[in-house]
């Protein structure tokens, strides 16, 4: 199941790269040259081959002005304790009222 999801995710990523390349009116030959790789390797990327290096993906993201998207991978997530601490800090405590008698 996990491998199927990984495969589908990589294929979707490759399709998005292909779509962006085509929308920019770039041939595989030109994009591969700018990327510093061969056309067969670019085809592997666009087909979702898991053997393509992450460095090459980062370069491709940079070429299409999307390198900042890499920052969303493995982003630190807040734990339940972190959220509780933030919630506690945000709550203001109301001062007690002293009644004069």
Nearest CA-CA partner of 17 in 36, 33, 32: 32
Reply yes or no on whether the pLDDT at 101 is more than 80: no
Q: Please, what is the average pLDDT of the chain?
A: 87
CATH of domain 2-70: 1.10.260.40
Reply yes or no on whether the pLDDT at 62 is more than 90: yes
Domains of the chain: which residue ranges? 2-70
Reply yes or no on whether the pLDDT at 35 is more than 90: yes
Per-residue tokens: 57 = 């993906």
Per cent of the chain over pLDDT 90 is 61
Per cent of the chain over pLDDT 70 is 84
Check: CB of residue 9 under 8 Å from CB of residue 52.
no
């Amino acid at each position: 199941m996990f491998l199927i999801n990984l495969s589908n995710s990589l294929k979707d990523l490759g399709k998005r790269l292909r779509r962006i390349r085509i929308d920019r009116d770039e041939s595989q030959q030109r994009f591969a040259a700018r990327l510093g790789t061969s056309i067969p390797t670019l085809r592997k990327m666009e087909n979702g081959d898991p053997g393509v290096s992450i460095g090459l993906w980062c370069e491709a993201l940079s070429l299409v002005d999307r390198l900042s998207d890499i920052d969303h991978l493995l982003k630190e997530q807040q734990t339940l304790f972190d959220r509780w601490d933030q919630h506690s800090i945000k709550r203001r405590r109301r001062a007690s009222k002293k009644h004069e008698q």
